């Protein structure tokens, strides 16, 4: 569709957190369609299967204009395939910067027509990460303020609670 601004928001989403949800909703301020792209990422051993991660995002984010897909291979190839001109990534802290900068420059080298935009999450979600959520849930901590209820239930089932 011409004139439609498409943004891709890639990640592992293992699982989606309130921080990811916040960035997806913020992206709708400047994109007509936001494609949440869940990486197969064979290098990582995710807690949730690809299908589970996709299903949880669909439960957590139901806004119009948001679609959830999975992808394998290079992000820029996926972005080109869906006519995305923007890659959205979140920057939480200085510690994120080097990796994100490296990735943005590499993606630009591979596809100069695709621009990376960094979004700052809501202040109270800045410290949040999927790995912390998994760790807290693994040891029985309360994650209800950090994830959608469907994700909280899925974590409880994974850890046999």
In the complex, the residues that contact ligand PNS under the rule CB under 6 A are 10-12, 39, 41, 74-75, 103, 106-107
Q: Could you tell me the smallest distance in angstroms from the CB atom of residue 135 to ligand PNS? A: 16
Long-range CB contacts (within 8 A, 24+) of 43-48: 44/12, 44/14, 46/12, 46/14, 47/14, 47/15, 47/134, 47/158, 48/14, 48/15, 48/154, 48/158
Q: Which member of 5, 44, 138, 161 is catalytic?
A: 44
Is 157 a known active-site residue? no
Q: What is the DSSP string of 100-145?
A: HHHHHHHHHHH-TT-EEEEEPPPGGGTT--HHHHHHHHHTT---TT
Q: Which is nearer to ligand PNS, 56 or 75 (CB)?
A: 75
Give whichever of 130 and 152 is closer to ligand PNS, judged by the CB atom: 130
Say whether 20 is catalytic. Answer: yes
DSSP letter at 70? Answer: E
Whether 95 is a known active-site residue: answer no
CB of 38 to ligand PNS, least distance (A): 8
Q: Which is nearer to ligand PNS, 33 or 107 (CB)?
A: 107
Out of 130, 134, 148, 152, pick the active-site residue.
Answer: 130
Q: Is 158 a catalytic residue?
A: no
User: Would you please indicate which residues are annotated as catalytic (active-site) residues?
Assistant: 20, 44, 92, 130
């Amino acid at each position: 569709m011409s004139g439609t601004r498409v943004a891709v928001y890639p990640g592992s989403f293992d699982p989606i957190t309130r921080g990811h949800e916040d960035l997806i909703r913020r992206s709708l301020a400047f994109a007509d369609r936001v494609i949440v792209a869940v990486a197969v990422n064979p290098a990582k051993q995710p807690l949730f299967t690809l299908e589970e991660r996709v299903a949880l995002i669909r439960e957590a984010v139901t806004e119009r204009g948001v679609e959830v897909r999975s992808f394998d291979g290079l992000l820029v190839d996926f972005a080109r395939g869906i006519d995305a001109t923007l890659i959205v990534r979140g920057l939480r802290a200085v510690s994120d910067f080097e990796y994100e900068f490296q990735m943005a420059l590499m993606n630009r080298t591979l596809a100069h027509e695709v621009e990376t935009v960094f979004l700052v999450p809501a202040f109270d979600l800045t410290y949040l990460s999927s790995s912390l959520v998994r760790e807290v849930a693994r040891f029985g901590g309360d994650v209800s303020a950090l994830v959608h209820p469907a994700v909280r239930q899925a974590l409880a089932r994974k850890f046999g609670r």
